[in-house]
Amino acid sequence: MVRPRLLVVSMSLPVTAKRTGEETWSFTMSPGGLVSALLGLKEFETKWIGWPGVDVHDAVGKKALSIALAEKGCIPVFLEEVCDQYYNGYCNNILWPIFHYLGTPPEYRNDVIITYQSQYDAYKKANRIFFDVVNEHYQEGDVVWCHDYHVMLLPQYLKEYNSKMKVGWFLHTPFPSSEMYKTLPSRSELLRSVLTADLVGFHTYDFARHFVNACMCILGTEATSEGVVDQGKLTRVAVFPIGIEPERFINTSKLSEVTEYMKKFKSDFGGRKLILGVDRLDTIKGIPHKYQAFEKFLEENEDWRGKVLLLQIAVPTRNGIGEYQKIKDQCHGLVGRINGRFGSISSVPIIHLDCSIHFHQLCALYAITDVLLVTSLRDGMNLVSSEFVACQKGEKGVLVLSEFAGAGQSLGAGALLVNPWNVKEVSNAIGEALSMSREEKEKKHQINFQYVKTHSTQQWADDFMNKLNEVTSKAEQETGKAPHELPQHDVVQQYSKSKNRLLILGFYGTLTKPNKNQERRDEGMNLELHPQLKERLKALCSDPKTTVVVLSRSEKSVLDQNFGEHDMWLAAENGMFLRHTAGEWVTKMPENMNLKWIDGVKQVFKYFTERTPGSYFQASETSVVWNYHYADAEFGRAQAKDMLQHLWAGPTSNASVDVVQGRYSVEVHSVGVTKGSAMERILGEIVLQNKSITTPIDYVLCIGNFLGKDEDVYTFFEPELTKKTMSSPYYGSGPLKKVSSTLVDVKGDNYFSVAVGNTHTKASYFLDSSDDVVQLIHKLCTHNNP
């Protein structure tokens, strides 16, 4: 099978560069799990795009570094002056703490606007720089795999530029509950961008669920078992727990150098039991909590004093950030205190090392460890746990693992899970691990070893890529059916040529002001006519060759209020009532329409409104709608489900009604009340009142932001369907009889059906927002005089 080339994009490259001369560079491996994990991708032709860990300002240096990195399959991204504000600022001081439930750091609380905004600007700039580099190296067919919170805007930049690029985004950290995520000022922009990717991946179900939930609460998208649906477009969201490259650890542990280290360390530690900690010195790793728990253990277990050593490898990280300096001091203080309390002339209970160690030493330590202690307060996965499992030999050690690490979900069965905030619990777990029987330790180890062996990095990447390919090939199949961007030039040209035009316009989302933030809570507010439309509509409607119909689900009074002054047709309640603004309302309900169900439905809606804060309902003459735009989204949805049960069991059980679920609404109306079905009657009335009509309608433009059930209006005028409709009994016996053969003359090039803000539609074309509708109307009314 030919695999596509893979462009991996992450903030850091796997190597950190150091300048050794004008044109010479040396490299060390970058720390952290993301790098370790991605180095395990062997079966793809991979180019890695990222920051080389240094600022380079001169062209000679950049060129030399690019050449040296190219030999390692790496492409540098030079971030220059934005680097500090971007990496230390927005990424690691805003996104990182929020994603790990630490909240916004204190310094931002007094300086939210300046600090936040300048750092977010740097974030945007940096993402643009990443975009430029990806673009420069992208070849058709490549897959672009974006990693982590550093590049959340990248999917959007890539897709805007080339919608055919296959783009995946994977988050290595937790995605927090929406309650925490909501505090981020740029919350919706980041979510929207991530949703443009073809596939979005997380380590655990919790993180995926939180993401889907945040989209639902903040953007008002829908959740399905496959992912997030926004305006009909589905973004797949799935869970891919990362692994390690087990063979690398297993084989390295067998090397003689490693065996030598094992012997040496054992002798250095003087027969004491070894508790090991390996973490970047990061606030989320809970190192102070680990020390406090160990102190408690020593306090309560006098017998173990002098017989156990806690060795903590605290790998330096993010030195440019104040919080990371503080945590270092805090750890040093605690170690001093505990060593002072429980140490002796010949030994101390804690060795804390502020450094990284050689891979062979790391494997040797993993191999001889009795207890690996992981007390992360939050951790995306924690690969150290898996590495420890892979390296264990002889009598096995025990994994004590924080329940707040992603690894807790995959290695929990073979570990002692702990809440790192509960010092006593961790202390007890240390005791339990140290005294566990050999058999029990072996049993636990085997469970985890099987998992680690079978869930490799390669497997993880294969799963992600297979899913991405599946998703994108499905999307390609569907692209043929997708609507095209409205060719506005043709729309205007055909308009100029035509003699009798019909314009059918929706109201909400079509002629109202667009929701700028694109957040759910703003949706219910935009019920007023777009401010730039008034004059333009006036001009449009005063053209004698143009008939304008506003076809909305709104009530008569709302249409009167917004459009009463123009020379046009108003079709309220999805066409159940119709009037020309010069005349009175007439009822256009089908005969024998039974509306007896309305009172019962109103009672159910009233009941749920009282019990759902922020919800409300509106009853018109032919339908009842319950809205929960302003209610808690998740609760609103649960209530809506419950409401459906009540409706089906009660007032709608024997009634001929449709119950339609909108994004934040439940609507009940008589069967078949759709905009498309109303079109026939509307057209009949227009013709009837326009007795002098001599020219057939030779231009139809239908624009809306309609519910799925109302999209039948887009197909109503399609040339083949129009012919069918013309010969239907309705026309034969009704008011259109006389003009039926000459009523509508649309052949396709003079018919435009347009969905606003929705590319998953039956309409042939789309426009992005009502701002575009305003522009278009402007062009139509100035077509002779632009």
**List 4, 31, 306, 734, residue binding ligand L263DTV3 (CB under 6 A):** 31
Instruction: Give the SS3 label for residue 188.
Output: helix
Which range in 28-36, 77-85, 115-123, 441-449 contacts ligand L263DTV3 by CB under 6 A?
A: 28-36
CA gap 600, 583 in Å, rounded = 34
Alpha carbon 755 to its chain centroid, in Å, reads 24
Binding partner of 242, given ligand L263DTV3, ligand UDP, none, CB within 5-8 angstroms per partner class? ligand L263DTV3
Residues in contact with ligand L263DTV3, total (CB under 6 A)?
A: 18
* Kind plus residue range of the DSSP H or E element containing 571: strand 569-572
Pick the binder of ligand UDP from 9, 13, 15, 33 (CB under 6 A). 33
- State yes or no: residue 89 binds ligand L263DTV3 (CB under 6 A): no
> CB-wise, 356 or 472, nearer to ligand UDP?
356
Distance CA(436)–CA(438), nearest Å, equals 7
357 binds, among ligand UDP, ligand L263DTV3, none (CB under 5 to 8 A by kind): ligand UDP
- Residue 297 to residue 428: CA distance in whole angstroms: 7
Binding mask 224-263 for ligand UDP (x = CB under 6 A): ----------------------------------------
Burial class (CB in 10 A: 0-12, 13-18, 19+), 780: buried
Residues 6+ apart with CB under 8 A from 30: 12, 13, 14, 15, 16, 53
Q: Which of 262, 314, 381, 423 binds ligand L263DTV3 (CB under 6 A)?
A: 381
Whether residue 105 contacts residue 323, with contact meaning beta carbons closer than 8 Å, is answered with yes
**Residue 278 in contact with ligand UDP, rule: CB under 6 A:** yes
Residue 356 binding partner per list ligand UDP, ligand L263DTV3, none, with a CB distance cut-off of 5 to 8 Å that depends on partner kind: ligand UDP
Shortest distance, position 337 Cβ to ligand UDP, whole Å: 25
Amino acid at position 48, single letter: W
* Binding at 523: pick from ligand UDP, ligand L263DTV3, none (beta carbon under 5-8 Å per type): none
Side chain identity at 319, as an amino acid letter? N
Q: Which residues in the 343-382 window bind ligand UDP by CB under 6 A?
A: 356-357, 362, 381-382
Report d(CA 235, CA 27) in Å as an integer. Answer: 38
Q: Out of 4, 5, 19, 32, which residue is the one contacting ligand L263DTV3 (CB under 6 A)?
A: 32
Toward ligand UDP, which CB reaches closer, 215 or 362?
A: 362
Residue 556 Cβ, how far from ligand L263DTV3 at the closest point, in Å? Answer: 56
Tokens matching residue 179:
């309650």
Q: How far is the CB of 319 from ligand UDP (least distance, A)?
A: 15
User: Which contiguous run of DSSP H or E holds residue 351?
Assistant: strand 350-353
Of 324 and 577, which has the nearer Cβ to ligand UDP?
324
Torsions phi, psi for 600 (to 5 deg): -60, -40
Assess 315 for contact with ligand UDP (CB under 6 A).
yes
Answer with the entry of ligand L263DTV3, ligand UDP, none that 318 interacts with (C-beta below 5 to 8 A by kind).
ligand L263DTV3
356, 313 contact by CB (below 8 A): yes
d(CA 606, CA 650) in angstroms, rounded, equals: 14
Interface with ligand L263DTV3, residue 318, by CB under 6 A: yes
CA angle 268, 270, 273 (to 5 degrees): 105
- DSSP code at position 42: -
CB-based contact 643:636 (threshold 8 Å): no
Is there binding between residue 53 and ligand L263DTV3 (CB under 6 A)?
Answer: no
- Return the DSSP state at 87: I
Rounded to a whole number of angstroms, the distance between the first and last alpha carbons of the chain is 56
Contacts of 157 (CB under 8 A, 6+ apart): 127, 128, 131, 193
Please provide the DSSP assignment of 413-482 as one string. GGEEEE-TT-HHHHHHHHHHHHT--HHHHHHHHHHHHHHHHHS-HHHHHHHHHHHHHHHHHHHHHHHTTS
CA dist 469 and 167 (Å) reads 10
Stretch that binds ligand L263DTV3, among 16-24, 71-79, 375-383, 668-676 (CB under 6 A): 375-383
Of 178 and 252, nearer to ligand UDP (C-beta) is 252
Closest CB to ligand UDP among 148 and 222?
Answer: 148
The distance of closest approach from Cβ of residue 279 to ligand L263DTV3 in the complex, given in angstroms and rounded to an integer, is 10
Q: Where are the alpha helices (DSSP H) in 578-664?
A: 598-611, 633-649
Residue showing tokens 């050593």:
309
Q: Does 135 engage in binding with ligand L263DTV3 (CB under 6 A)?
A: no
Binders in 235-274 for ligand L263DTV3, by CB under 6 A? 242
User: Strand pairing of 15-19 and 25-29?
Assistant: antiparallel
User: Residues touching ligand UDP: how many (CB under 6 A)?
Assistant: 17
In terms of CB distance, is 388 or 464 closer to ligand UDP? Answer: 388
- Nearer Cβ to ligand UDP, position 392 or 554? 392
CA nearest neighbour of 152 among 113, 114, 186: 186
- Site membership for ligand L263DTV3, residue 12 (CB under 6 A): yes
Of positions 34, 122, 217, 511, contacts ligand L263DTV3 by CB under 6 A: 34
Which CB, 248 or 675, lies closer to ligand UDP?
Answer: 248
173 contact, one of ligand L263DTV3, ligand UDP, none, CB 5-8 Å limit per kind = ligand L263DTV3
Q: Which is nearer to ligand UDP, 37 or 777 (CB)?
A: 37
Of 746, 141, 732, 219, whose CA–CA distance to 473 is shortest? 141
Q: Strand pairing of 616-619 and 222-223?
A: unpaired
Smallest distance from ligand UDP to CB 35, Å: 7
State which residue, 172 or 709, has the beta carbon closest to ligand L263DTV3: 172
Report in angstroms how near the CB of residue 74 gets to ligand UDP at its nearest.
Answer: 17
Among 93, 382, 546, 665, binds ligand L263DTV3 (CB under 6 A): 382
Quick one: 133 or 357, whose CB is closer to ligand UDP? 357
Question: Min. distance of Cβ 279 from ligand UDP in angstroms?
Answer: 7
Characterize 388-413 residue by residue with b for buried, 16 or more Cβ atoms within 10 angstroms of its Cβ, and e for exposed. Answer: bbbbbeeebbbbbbbebbbbbbbbbe
CA distance 224 to 391: 40
Nearer to ligand L263DTV3, 321 or 668 (CB): 321
Q: For residue 380, state whether it binds ligand L263DTV3 (rule: CB under 6 A).
A: yes
Under 8 Å between Cβ of 14 and 74: yes
- Read off the tokens for 576: 């159940």
Q: How far is the CB of 76 from ligand UDP (least distance, A)?
A: 20
- To which residue do tokens 């507010």 refer? 525
Q: Which residues from 162-201 bind ligand L263DTV3, rule CB under 6 A?
A: 172-173
Q: Is 238 helix (H, G, I), strand (E, B) or coil?
A: strand
12 binds, among ligand L263DTV3, ligand UDP, none (CB under 5 to 8 A by kind): ligand L263DTV3
For residue 91, the minimal CB distance to ligand L263DTV3 (Å) is 8
Query: At closest approach, how far in Å is the CB of 339 from ligand UDP?
Result: 22
Binding-site string for ligand L263DTV3 from residue 92 to residue 131, where x marks contact by CB under 6 A and - marks none: ----------------------------------------
501 forms beta bridges with: 546, 699
Do residues 214 and 191 lie in contact, with contact meaning Cβ atoms separated by under 8 Å? yes
Retrieve residue 279's tokens.
Answer: 């973490």
User: Cβ of 730: how many Cβ atoms within 10 Å?
Assistant: 16
Interface residues with ligand UDP (CB under 6 A)?
31-34, 36, 278, 280, 313, 315, 356-357, 362, 381-384, 387
Interface residues with ligand L263DTV3 (CB under 6 A)?
11-12, 31-34, 37, 148, 172-173, 242, 317-318, 379-383
